Amino acid sequence: MIIFISGSATEFYLLGFHGSKELHDILFATFFFLYSVTVMGNMVIIVIVCVDKRLQSPMYFFLGHLSVLEILITSVAVPLMLWGLLLPGMQAMSLTACSAQLYLYLSLGTSELVLIGAMAVDRYVAVCNPLRYNIIMDSHTCIWVVIVSWVFGFLFQIWPVYATFQLTFCKSNVIDHFLCDRGQLLKLSCDDSLFTEFILFLMAIFIIVGSLIPTIISYTYIISTILKIPSASGRRKAFSTCASHFTFVVIGYRTCLFLYYNRVVSLMVLVVTPFLNPFIFTLRNDKFIEAFRDVMKRCSLYISNCCTFL
C-alpha cells in the first residue's frame, strides 16, 4: 500500500476485487455478459420507442430517457472495472479521471432519481385522471420534465464533487473499491471533513427523499383508485400500467438507501439494476412486444430485399 506523509495524492490506485486470477476471470465473464445485455437491451428500448408510432406516449418517452441514463450510468464504471479484472495488481487512475468519473456517476444517478419520481407522477395522472391525461402530460410538459431532470442532476452535483476534491488526500492513494467512490475518498482525507461529510450526506438524503415523496404520494393515490374499481379485470388492467415502474422503484430505492456501504450495493446500482431494466419494462408489456415484433419483421424484410438486390 502506498502511503503519503505530506502533500495530497495526484493519482489513485483502485484495489478492485480481491481473489485469485481464476475468480477474476469468472467475474470478468459474468460482468461482461451483464454489461453487454444491458447495453443491447436498453438500446433496443430506445430504438423501438423512437421508430414505432404506437409508443409515442409520455410513458414510453420517459422510458426511452431512462434507458439512456441506464446505459450511461453503467458505462461510467463497468468498462474500467472489466479492464481492471484483466490486469494484474492495482489499477491507476489520475485525480482528473477520478473526479470526472465521480461527477458523471453522481450526476446521472441524480437525474435518474428525478426522472423516476416524474414517471410516478405520470402513472398517477394516467390511473387517477385518465380523461385529462393527454392534456396534462402533453409533449411540451414531457420535454420540460426530461430537460429539468437532466440539467438538475448535472448542476446539483457540481458542489459536492468540488467539495470532495478540495480535501487533502495524504493518508493513502489506494481506493479499496473498483471505482472512484466518494465514501472511500473521504476515508483517505487527512483534513477534518466531518462538516463536509454531513453536508454531502444531507444533500444525498435530499435527492433520495425528494424523489421518493412524489413516488409514495402518487402510488398511495394509485392504489386507492385501483381498489375502488369494481371488477377484478379492471383492477388488473389499471395496475398493469404501473406495475413495471413500481418494481423498478422498489429495486432502485432499496439499493440507493445502502449505496455507501460496500461493493455489492455498487454492483447492484451499476450492473444488476440496468441489466434488469429492459426485462422489467418490456416482458409483460404487450404493446411493446407487438411493436418489437413489427420492427423485427420490417428489418428482416429490408435485409431480405437488400440480399435479393445484391
pLDDT in tens, 71-107: 999 999 999 999 988 887 778 888 899 999 999 999 9
Take residue 14 and report the three cell numbers written for it. 483502485
pLDDT at 284 exceeding the cut of 80: no
Weakest-pLDDT range from 27-36, 136-145, 183-192 = 183-192
- Size (the chain), residues: 310
pLDDT at 189 exceeding the cut of 90: no
Task: Indicate the SS3 state at residue 91.
Answer: strand
Q: How many CA atoms lie within 13 A of 4 on its CB side?
A: 18
pLDDT 10s digits, 15-44: 888 878 888 889 999 999 999 999 999 999
pLDDT 10s digits, 49-60: 888 888 888 988
How confident is residue 304, by pLDDT bands cut at 50, 70 and 90? low
State the average pLDDT for the chain: 84
Average pLDDT over residues 115-130: 90
How confident is residue 3, by pLDDT bands cut at 50, 70 and 90? very low
Helix (H) or strand (E) holding 283: none
How many Å apart are CA 297 and CA 287, to the nearest integer?
16
pLDDT (0 to 100) of residue 40: 93
How confident is residue 186, by pLDDT bands cut at 50, 70 and 90? confident
Q: Are 81 and 179 in contact (CB under 8 A)?
A: yes
Q: Are 251 and 273 in contact (CB under 8 A)?
A: yes
| Alpha carbon separation from 119 to 106, 113, 181, 219, 269 (Å, rounded) | 20, 10, 28, 11, 19
